[in-house]
Amino acid sequence: MCKEFNEEVIVSGDLAASLRLAGNFAAQTLGSIKLKGKQKEMLLIALKSIMTA
């Protein structure tokens, strides 16, 4: 899936909400997909490291 969206790290919206991302990662919403065997769609979030010098 990462290749499909050209992203290195993709997580669900639920996981992104439970992580402490502030200051370390930038989050970008990619949209929602429906997974096989699931009725609800899942929100996808791309994470990118924020480089600090």
Give residue-wise pLDDT tens across range 25-50.
889 999 999 888 888 899 999 999 88
- Expressed as residue numbers, the domain containing 7 is 2-49
| Distances from the Cα of 8 to the Cα of 5, 35, 43, angstroms | 9, 20, 17
pLDDT grade for 52, boundaries at 50, 70 and 90: low
- Domain total for the chain? 1
pTM of the model: 0.77
DSSP letters spanning 14-53:
HHHHHS--TTTEEEEEEEEEE-TT-SSEEEEEEEEE----
CA angle 44/50/45 to nearest 5° reads 5
